[in-house]
Amino acid sequence: MSFEFETVYLNGLGQVRESGRHTGICFTEELTRGVNIELMLIPGGSFLMGAASDEMGHPSDEIPQHPVTVDAFWMGKFLVTQAQWKAIADLPLIRDELERMPACYRGADRPVEQVSWFEAIEFCERLATKTGRSYRLPSEAEWEYACRAATSTPFHFGDILTRSVANYNSQASISKTQKRGKQTTPVGNFGIANAFGLYDMHGNVYEWCADHWHVNYYGAPTDGTAWIRDGDSTRRVIRGGSWNDVAANCRSAFRAPDDAEDGHDDLGFRVVCQDVGILERSEPGRRRTTLV
């Protein structure tokens, strides 16, 4: 079904330079009575993955910038919420036990957090078994492509981030006392999406990706698939920054490793589905987006 959403682009002072209404294709999956998961159709296309050479302060693990082509897929409009997590955690076990409510900051419409990579995989597998569709974590390339949404700036909002559009730590350093009261916000709390109709791609909680950790992009796949060879399989890529991070760590190109067995109060995930049947029904003439 068609879904309308608002986007904004900020100037160098953090003021809204451009705003607009966009339309995307949204698919709704019922998990249990009153609990659904919504996915946006992400059109296939090409983009430059990684940080540009002139992007201020980028570390060496974000280079070399390289062209990647991604097939169309569906991605969660929002981070997986606690209500969605509970609905799937109640389903039969496949490999790993799932705690029914692991989150530190409680709220049905807040993102689930404190879940490990393995638990996120278990969620995807239970969801796939329930629906008969191919749910999984995004590859790192899919995540960045979806986050950028045809932009090349550090954030899909532009060159800077402000607290009016994202939940992050705007202070360069913060004491334990100042940290109190800072936490996750309900998904979509700011009411502003990127041009693909995705919310909270910058901040709120980090997001697990499927890939093994690699210290740079030399030898990385260029077809949008997860990089799961030659890297550190005990650590997986996380993306997007969090409520606890400064803006630099919320950039589209920012990436970091985390132990696959760990869960933190600033780490969650969103799902991807690549069900060809849904794509054929919803997008007869598949369109592509190019940003190279």
Domain ranges of the chain: 2-291
pLDDT confidence of residue 14: 92
Is the CATH number 3.90.1580.10 carried by domain 2-291?
yes
pLDDT confidence of residue 177: 41
State how far the alpha carbon of 280 is from the alpha carbons of 54, 72, 199, 290, in Å: 40, 11, 25, 21
Instruction: Give yes or no for a cis peptide into 64 (omega within 30° of 0).
Output: yes
Q: Which residues contact 173 (CB under 8 A, 6 or more apart)?
A: none
Structure tokens at 34: 């009153």
Amino acid, single-letter form, for residue 159: D
State how far the alpha carbon of 125 is from the alpha carbons of 38, 53, 92, 96, 265, in Å: 17, 38, 11, 10, 23
Q: Which of 166, 235, 165, 155 is nearest to 205 (CA)?
A: 166
The pLDDT tens digits along the chain (292 residues) read 899 999 999 999 999 999 999 999 999 999 999 999 999 999 999 999 999 999 988 999 999 999 999 999 999 999 999 999 999 999 999 999 999 999 999 999 999 999 999 999 999 999 999 999 999 999 999 999 999 999 999 999 999 999 999 999 987 544 444 444 599 999 999 999 999 999 999 999 999 999 999 999 999 999 999 999 889 999 999 999 999 999 999 999 999 999 999 999 999 999 999 885 674 554 444 444 434 3
pLDDT confidence of residue 275: 83
Q: Cα separation of 239 and 254, whole Å?
A: 7
